[in-house]
Amino acid sequence: MVRSKFLADRFFVGLFCVLTASLSGCDFLLPKETVYVTVAILNLREKPTTKSQVVECLQRGRELEIFERANPWLRVRADGKTEGWVHGNYVGDAAAVRAALQKDLARRSSGTRKKRPVVRPTQPATEQQATQEPQATPPSPGALSIDGMIAGMPDDMILEEVDPLEGQPRHFGATGSGQVVLEFWGPEVDLLRSEIMVTVLDISDADLNRNADLVRLFIRNAVPQWQRDTTWVANFLRELSSQDVGTGGFDTRSKTVRFRFIKPLSAIRVTIEKAS
């Protein structure tokens, strides 16, 4: 009799929490609705309006948990901690993320590529030129350049200039039938951010080893003292992709290197940025 009363009490407590989740803090009992960012960059805002302050810029494939709707806006939580509002037109399921990436790759591969400016050796300026022409700002110490980051990459890695975001120029490229995607933010000779994203699941061992070797090369181009080999990188990518939220990375004096598993794309994104 006592046990029956105890079970009944627990049932009604659980029911009460479900009915009053938004007020009682029992929202963990409600089923979670998960979506992913489908566009290249999506602003997470404080309030459901484009005039509201941006909390964070979310990249394609970022997992979001919905816990409030105000059509067409969604109040979401990223990584279980950062909260804000996103426009519902730019999120979807895993299939929508893959379709959006493939659409971007197809459009860019069929369109007219913008050639990056060829940096030519400079001739000594005359005294008159020196007084008339503004001097370019020299790159910061340890700066990364596009040419330096793609050194050793496959010949079919063709970069194109794409629309700027956050006021910064961007360049985009892909190889390996879209299994390897590169993106660069900032001035070509003084990059703010460099990224490589490689497919790691549902591919052959040969493709995985090729992708891992390109990750190794990409990181070495930025951090020459990083001495991991291709086998180590391939095993590390496998380990990250076996986790629900796989992340990793390391810091140097001038740079940060971060790995993140992008579940809907079955890929690992490696981001290299200037250390703050």
- 224-232: average pLDDT: 96
The residue whose two tokens read 């700066």 is: 143
- 52-79: average pLDDT: 94
- 57-74: average pLDDT: 94
Instruction: Note the pLDDT of residue 138.
Output: 56
Q: Which string of b and e fits 176-201 if b means at least 16 CB within 10 Å?
A: beebbbbbbbbbbbebebbbbbbbbe
What is the C-alpha to C-alpha distance for residues 176 and 200, in angstroms, rounded to an integer?
Answer: 12
What is the C-alpha to C-alpha distance for residues 19 and 232, in angstroms, rounded to an integer?
Answer: 50
Six-digit token string for 32: 């979670």
The structural domains of the chain, ordered by start, are: 2-92 (2.30.30.40), 97-113+142-274 (no CATH)
pLDDT exceeds 70 at position 261? yes
pLDDT confidence bin for 227, thresholds 50/70/90: very high
- Least confidently predicted of 96-100, 154-158, 237-241, 261-265: 154-158
What is the C-alpha to C-alpha distance for residues 122 and 150, in angstroms, rounded to an integer?
Answer: 23
pLDDT exceeds 60 at position 15? no
Q: Which string of b and e fits 56-90 if b means at least 16 CB within 10 Å?
A: eebbbbbbbbbbeeeeebbbbbbeeeebbbbbbeb
Instruction: Give CA angle at 12 (7, 16), nearest 5°.
Output: 150
Instruction: Note the pLDDT of residue 156.
Output: 83
Give the tens place of pLDDT for each residue, 140-190: 667 899 999 999 999 888 888 988 887 889 999 999 889 999 999 999 999
Instruction: Note the pLDDT of residue 166.
Output: 76
pLDDT confidence bin for 123, thresholds 50/70/90: very low
* 237-to-105, 174, 269 alpha-carbon distances in Å: 23, 19, 10
- 89-94: average pLDDT: 96
**CB 60, CB 45: distance < 8 Å:** no
Burial of 49 (0-12, 13-18, 19+ CB in 10 A): exposed
* Beta-bridge mates of residue 185: 170, 193
